[in-house]
Amino acid sequence: MLRKPLAVANWKMNLSLDDALHYVREFDASRRTVEAVVCPSLPFLFPMHQLSTSMNKPLSFGAQNMHWNEAGAHTGEVSASMLRQVGCSYVIIGHSERRTAGETDEQIHRKVASALAGDLTPILCVGESAVERVSRRTTQVIRRQLTAALEGVKDIARVVIAYEPVWAIGTGEPATAAYAQTVHSDIRGIIRRISPESAEKVRLLYGGSVKAKNASEYSAQPDIDGVLVGSASLSIAEFQAIIQSFGTKVGGP
C-alpha cells in the first residue's frame, strides 16, 4: 500500500485570525499529491475550515491537542467530537511542548484511543531530549513512548507518527536526513513488533527545524513520509515550498 506524503503545519500559539484567513485564500490549490494539514489555534479552526471549503482548497485541518473524554467537567478542554464538528480531521498528540508541561504517557495513550474512536487521525509525537541523545537512549525512549501510546490500539495503521527530537525543535539545528532516516527505520521496526501488518502502512513524519531549504533532503529518505513543521509553516511561501519538496515522492513498499 502506498503512503501518501503528508505535510503538517503546526502554528502553535501564533498568527491572527486575519493572517489565518489570508493563508487559506492564498493557498495554492494546484498540488494535490501531497496531503496538506494546517493546525492553527483552536478559535481559528472553524472559520478557516469554512473558508477553505467554500473556496474548494485542498487543505485539511488539525488541532494541537484534545481531551480524551467525550464531554464533562473539564474546564478549558475540547473533545474529539467537538473538533470533528468544526472541520478537524487530525489532532497532534503528545507534542514535546505539552509533555514538558506535564502530559504523561498514560494521558497520551488515552488521547490516541479517543481520537481514533472519534474518527480523528492522531499525529503522535515522539522524540528524545538532548541529554537522552547524548547518553544514547534515543531508541529506548522512543520505544517507551510508542509502546505506552499504542498499547491495545487496534487500528495502528491509521495513526501518524511524528519523530521530533526535542533538541531540533525551534533551534535551527535540524537532525540530518541520515540521522532522521535511521530513527524512522527504528520506529518502523518497533511498530512491526507491535503490529506486523501496520508497519508498512503507518506514515512517519520528521519534525524539528524543517525549512524550505532542507525539506527535499528528508523527502529523499525511504522511511520519511512527510514533515511536521513549526516556525517555517507560518509563512505560506515556505510551507508551500516544503509541500512541493514532497510532490514527487512515492512512499511505501
Ligand X SMILES: O=C(CO)COP(=O)(O)O
Site for ligand X in 78-97 (CB under 6 A): 95
**55, 69, 170, 252: which one contacts ligand X (CB under 6 A)?**
170
User: Is 95 an active-site residue?
Assistant: yes
Give the count of residues interacting with ligand X (CB under 6 A): 14
Closer CB to ligand X, 35 or 164, in the complex: 164
Residue from 49, 67, 95, 109 carrying the catalytic annotation = 95
Binding-site member from 138, 209, 221, 245 for ligand X (CB under 6 A): 209
Rule CB under 6 A: choose which of 3, 6, 7, 10 binds ligand X.
10
Smaller CB separation from ligand X, 93 or 199 = 93
Q: How far, in Å, CA of 56 to CA of 27, rounded?
A: 11
Q: Is 10 annotated as a binding residue?
A: yes
Mapped to the 3 state alphabet, what secondary structure does the chain carry?
Answer: CCECCEEEEECCCCCCHHHHHHHHHHCCCCCCCCEEEEECCHHHHHHHHHHHHHCCCCEEEEECCCCCCCCCCCCCCCCHHHHHHCCCCEEEECCHHHHHCCCCHHHHHHHHHHHHHCCCEEEEEECCCHHHHHCCCHHHHHHHHHHHHHCCCCCHHHCEEEECCHHHCCCCCCCCHHHHHHHHHHHHHHHHHHCCCCCCCCEEEEECCCCCCCHHHHHCCCCCCEEEECHHHHCHHHHHHHHHHCCCCCECC
Nearer to ligand X (CB atom), residue 38 or residue 199 = 38
Is 65 annotated for ligand binding? no
208 touches ligand X (CB under 6 A): yes
Q: Which of 40, 207, 226, 251 binds ligand X (CB under 6 A)?
A: 207
| 12 is annotated as contributing to ligand binding | yes
Q: Which of 210, 212, 236, 243 binds ligand X (CB under 6 A)?
A: 210
In angstroms, what is the minimal distance from the CB of 140 to ligand X?
22
Closer residue to ligand X, CB minimum distance, 93 or 146: 93
Lookup: cell for 167: 533538541
Q: Of 35, 97, 128, 164, which one is the catalytic site residue?
A: 164
Distance CA 99, CA 149 (A): 13
Stretch that binds ligand X, among 132-140, 162-170, 213-221, 240-248 (CB under 6 A): 162-170
Distance CA 14, CA 165 (A): 21
Examine residue 214 and tell whether it contacts ligand X (CB under 6 A). no
Q: Is 170 annotated as a binding residue?
A: yes
Backbone angles phi, psi at 100, to 5 degrees: -65, -30
**Per-residue contact track with ligand X, 215 to 244, x per CB under 6 A?**
-------------xxxxx------------
Q: Is 128 among the catalytic positions?
A: no
Show binding-site residues for substrate: 10-12, 170, 209
Catalytic residues: 95, 164
Q: Which residues contribute to the site for ligand X (CB under 6 A)?
A: 10, 95, 164, 169-170, 207-210, 228-232
